Chain A
Amino acid sequence: MNVRSAAIIGVGQSAYTRRPQPGQSAHTFIRDAVVAALADAGITAGDVQGLAVASFSLAPDTAVDLAWKLGLSLRWLLQDTNGGSSAMNMLGHALRGVDAGAADTILVVGGDATGLAGYGKIAANYNIATRDHLAPLGHGGPNGVYALVASRQIKTYGLDKSDYGRLAIAQREWAAKNPFAVYRAPLTMDEYLAAPMVADPLSRYDCVPVVAGAQAIVVAHPDRAPAGRPGVRVRAHRASFNYDNQEGDGLKTGISTFAAALWDEAGVAPGDIDVASIYDDYPTMVLAQLDDLGMIPGHDLARFCRRDIGERRYPLNTWGGMLSAGQPGGPAGGLNGIAEAVLQLQRRTGERQIENARLAVATGYGMTMYRYGGTAAAAILERGA
């Protein structure tokens, strides 16, 4: 896809909280994110012609119910069910929707307020394979699945537990500069290594904290961008679904199927990227996606963790990532990474700003079908001229 007539012109998010209060729901968090995104884009609800939404806890409402409750009368509507790659997937559809003239302005939103009990039910009933073959084992939801993948990755690439820690600690440093992050206190390696195991070899800080919250972005023709603040363009966007029928080892993701085409279409190389938003439900999968993107020289994951992350040479998940900022459901978690890339490219991230950021990569990864995730998507974003 080579979209030339669409851009991201606004972003917004709700507050994030570990414990939603009475009266708060996915709907109310989504409303807050929508209000913020519309204000950021300098448009009103009446300007919105399309809506894309992903949420585990919107049900029994669907996208059209959300449109109704937001007072949006639309000519383009999408509900996405691809978990951690929903955000990136919706972005692709929205870009094409605007590019094709289906809608001039599309609101893309994700949010959840499952609560821990609700999340537990979702994790045990994620699909038929999970319900019938994993949950009865007491597999612990995705933590158990990715614990097995992490063990494979540690063996295959010669990683130490502390390598995952370096990612978590570096992201926590970024989170300290993000007022929306739920965990902002500094994290030391001693604290990381002393944290209780959740699903060996994954401990507390390796597992994404579930929060309630929502995120929204506005996709529109670049002319609709607020004066003096060009929208962020997408040079290339690709997605993959069920890339290997769950017959691999999970150390590669669907990104491996399209990375070469993504870079080729974008006309840039991994080394050109200034800031990266990599979907981080687990450090394991951050490394897998980065490697698939060709962003880890020599596939040396250990060296990347110890040098590039350990020495803070690489601007990765500069809002703290979901590991520190929180995961308001996979869909909104993915949107957070996109929004951070937009803010970085528009030079609006304050003390976490990457100097002269011009190009960003953002990814999504999700839908733990049985042994690992089956969906992935990525985009190369560029600062608008």
Chain B
Amino acid sequence: MTAGVGIWRCRTCRAALFPQRLLCPHCQGAEFDEDRVYDGVVAEIAVIRHMIGQADWQPRRIANVRTTDGPAITVGLMDEAGEGAVVQLFQEDGAPFGKAKR
């Protein structure tokens, strides 16, 4: 588990992007700096109660999170954080997760 979520920042206009792009959609810059974003606010939550082909699936929560640096990221929620909650972001095997900031 790595603290924060890796994002890409356009070297020309500094736009923050997630997922990775080839060209910046704002200025068409082709070079990016890797950066990390650590916090976000939960905008919407969905409870995934059914997964095709998985009979013993346990419900999971995912959320649309508006990060402090701009891009909206879909994360797995690791606790009962609700809409409007500030969450700490972290990454596991490249996938973004969040839990309520204490």
Using CB atoms and an 8 Å cutoff, list the residues of chain A in contact with chain B.
116-117, 119-120, 123, 128-129, 132-134, 136-141, 143-145, 147-148, 151-152, 155, 196-202, 245, 247, 370-371
Contact = CB atoms under 8 A, between A and B. Distances in A.
Contacts of A152: 43-44, 64
Contacts of B62: 137-140, 144, 148
A145 B46 CA distance: 8
A144 B74 CA distance: 10
A153 to B, nearest CB: 10
Contacts of B19: 128-129, 132-133, 370
Contacts of A371: 64, 72, 74
Contact of B46 (A116, A129, A155, A200): A200
Contacts of B93: 136
A235 B94 CA distance: 47
Interface string B78-102: 0000000000000011111100000
A139 B48 contact: yes
Interface string B49-85: 1111100010010111000000110111000000000
Contact of A200 (B47, B72, B74): B47
B44 A370 contact: no
**Residue of A137, A141, A155 with most partner-chain B CB within 10 A:** A137
Given A116-B53, A137-B95, A151-B46, 6 more contacts: A138-B62, A144-B46, A144-B48, A148-B45, A151-B45, A199-B48
A198 B50 contact: yes
A140 to B, nearest CB: 4
B44 A148 contact: yes
- 6 A-B pairs with least C-beta separation: A147-B46, A136-B95, A120-B52, A137-B76, A151-B44, A140-B48
Contacts of B75: 137
Interface string B2-23: 0000000000000000010000
A202 B96 CA distance: 23
21 contacts: A116-B52, A116-B53, A120-B51, A120-B52, A128-B19, A132-B19, A143-B48, A144-B46, A144-B62, A147-B48, A151-B44, A151-B45, A152-B43, A152-B64, A199-B47, A200-B47, A245-B25, A247-B72, A370-B19, A370-B74, A371-B74
Interface of B: 19, 25, 43-53, 57, 60, 62-64, 71-72, 74-76, 92-97
B81 to A, nearest CB: 14
B42 to A, nearest CB: 11
B50 A134 contact: no
A251 to B, nearest CB: 11
Nearest to B70: A247
A129 B71 CA distance: 14
Given A136-B93, A139-B74, A117 B53 contact: yes
A132 B18 CA distance: 12
A136 B64 CA distance: 15
Nearest to A132: B94
A133 B96 contact: yes
A371 B63 CA distance: 11
Contact of A120 (B48, B53, B64, B71): B53
